[in-house]
Amino acid sequence: MTKGKLLYEGKAKKVFETEDPSLLIVSYKDDATAFNGEKKGTIVGKGVVNNRTSNLLMHYLEKKGVPTHFVEELNDRETVVKRVEIVPLEVIVRNISAGSFAHRYGTAEGIVFDTPTLEFSYKNDALGDPLINEYHIIALKLATREELDTIRDYAFRVDKELQAFWSARGITLVDFKLEFGRLADGTVILADEISPDTCRLWDSKTQKKLDKDRFRRDLGGVEEAYLEILDRVTAKDAE
Ligand code: 5GP
């Protein structure tokens, strides 16, 4: 598999065409942004951690019955994925209050919910990724009712499986963001990445944050936290 034309360069990844029109190569960068691009920086080694972590998690989820775009890891930073048309939604599942939830509703961080919550944001940088409800998603034709039903079902299954995965590694899955895409035949599959950039991961014993909040909030020890996640993901063979 060889890299062809650069198709897209985002904040954290580059995407290249390949000789196969149904496959793309994703290349993970060390660049980090937060607050809709207002804060910029570099997290040395992040691309390697996110590539490996995301691939292991996608492989794990695939085995648990959630279809994903993952095809094959090429090297430290590059992976072959299925080409999809991204559904322009951030699908956010929360098990514990934190981040924008705690801010919006004026609650403390760390309140454990009885059942997980689900929310959607409209992926639109110019608008700052606003929250959006299911009626508005359908009105704007961002996804159909059937697609939303599938996405909701997969999102909660991912939560259940990943809570178990992380818990076995001494980590609490606080919340996370997923993105989905459509294959050429319209099948909806999990796309983008699942990594410390897109999840809140707290050490189960100490509650230490082991994710991008260390960068967002200038907590220090950012690189160490990412490496800690890679260590824990790889130390125990992914089931
Ligand atoms: P919050 O809405 O509290 O800021 O984020 C909830 C969860 O979704 C966190 O795990 C956060 O990392 C993830 N998330 C939300 N929006 C984005 C985004 O634009 N980029 C990334 N990488 N993660 C996001």
What are 82-129's pLDDT values in tens digits? 999 999 999 999 999 999 999 999 999 999 999 999 999 999 999 999
How many A from CA of 8 to the centre of ligand 1?
Answer: 21
Residue 226 Cα, ligand 1 centroid: separation in angstroms? Answer: 16
99 lines ligand 1 (CB under 6 A): yes
Give the pLDDT confidence score for residue 36 in this predicted structure: 86
Determine the atom of ligand 1 nearest the C-alpha atom of 213: 12
Ligand 1 lined by 123 (C-beta under 6 Å): no
Please give the distance, rounded to the nearest whole angstrom, from the Cα atom of residue 108 to the centre of ligand 1: 17
CA distance 32 to 148: 30
Beta bridge partners of 117: 94
Find out whether the beta carbon of 175 lies less than 6 Å from any atom of ligand 1. Answer: yes
CA distance to 12, 106, 201, 220, per residue, from 124 (Å): 16, 25, 25, 30
The residue nearest atom 2 of ligand 1, judged by CA position, is 100
Q: How far is the CA of 71 from the centre of ligand 1 (A)?
A: 25
Token pair of 141 as six digits? 């034709």
Q: How far apart are CA 3 and CA 26, in angstroms?
A: 9
Q: How many CB atoms are closer than 10 A to CB 208?
A: 15
CB-ligand 1 contact for 161 (6 Å cutoff): no
CA 218 to chain centre: 21
Spatial separation of the C-alpha atoms in residues 160 and 115, rounded to whole Å:
11
Say what the alpha-carbon torsion angle 6, 230, 87, 144 is, to the nearest 10 degrees: 160
Residue 114 CA to ligand 1 centre (angstroms) = 21
Taking the whole predicted model, whether its pTM rises above 0.85 is answered as yes
Contact 200, 214 (CB under 8 A): no
Residue 145's pLDDT band, with cuts at 50, 70 and 90, is very high
pLDDT in tens, 49-74: 999 999 999 999 999 999 999 999 99
Query: Which residue's entry shows tokens 């950039």?
Result: 197
What tokens were used for 231?
Answer: 């260590």
Please report the pLDDT score of residue 238 as a whole number. 44
* pLDDT tens per residue, range 174-217: 999 999 999 999 999 999 999 999 999 999 999 999 999 999 99
Please give the helix or strand (H or E) that residue 161 lies within, else none. Answer: helix 145-167
Distance, in Å, from the CA atom of 52 to the CA atom of 46, rounded to the nearest integer, reads 10
